[in-house]
Amino acid sequence: MELSGYRDDLRGRVAIVTGAARGLGLHFADALVAEGMKVALVARSADLLEKHAQRLGENALAVPADIASPDSVREVFARTVERFGRLDVLVNSATMNRLHRIEDITDAELASEVGVNIMGVIYCIREAIPLMRKAGGGDIINVSSESVTRPFPLLSLYAATKAGIENLTVGLREELRHDKIRVTTFRSGTVDSGGMFLSDAPPDRFQKFFDDSNAFGFMHDTGLAIAPQIAADALIALLRAPHQAHIDFISVRAR
């Protein structure tokens, strides 16, 4: 039996994926293009984005940008609509994480982490809403982290930014429920995505993070990293679901 409005064919729909140069964002972009969608890949790494766009073909557009800049975000959305004509899906996957105690964080670190993880998400959503309303609806997916329920050592600010975005997602449901724009939290556990998570951490901070995480059971709780295709499949399933159902929250993590 077919469900009324079930969208088992995503071909021709247009998406913007932030953080698409590597990691989970790149796997999301790959999966969307494989479904026949047209995808704007957004990140700061221009060379990597261009390489991925060439590999993915004419349905992919590389748009280098710093989402912490509102002007840069406006350019992303303008270029996407200029190329593809509309917007149906926004995946806010870009993230920044730095290991530090709050008392040690510098002004620049604080501005960059909050700028990407909170302000950047809001800038993107602000631009997406009128475009999706014009298109007759859409999906906004805000990628969060399992650490919101138990912040890891030295990652309290990161967890706080993700928790803030989860709460924003809840509030947006009420703002957009009559516009056929669905807003979903996609809470991810550890994924073997090849991303840059903590890759630039100073060795001494990383060692403390690793030691404390082991000592207090964080590593046991998170389990082994899952394959990125599992997370990508969950995203596709969400986008295929009929809009008569609002999907508030998805959690994909290790057993």
Show which residues are catalytic: 158
Tell me how far CA of residue 196 lies from CA of 71, 95, 152, 240, 242, in angstroms. Answer: 25, 10, 17, 29, 34
Beta bridge partners of 249: 185
Centre a 10 Å sphere on the Cβ of residue 168 and count the other Cβ atoms it contains.
16
In 3-state terms, what secondary structure has residue 211?
helix
d(CA 89, CA 39): 9
Question: What is the radius of gyration, based on Cα positions, of the chain?
Answer: 18
Q: In what order do the strands lie in the sheet with 14-18?
A: 60-64, 38-43, 14-18, 89-92, 138-145, 181-188, 249-252
CB 18 within 8 A of CB 93: yes
Tell me how far CA of residue 77 lies from CA of 21, 38, 118, 239, 245, in angstroms. Answer: 17, 13, 18, 20, 27
Amino acid making up residue 85: G
In 3-state terms, what secondary structure has residue 234?
helix
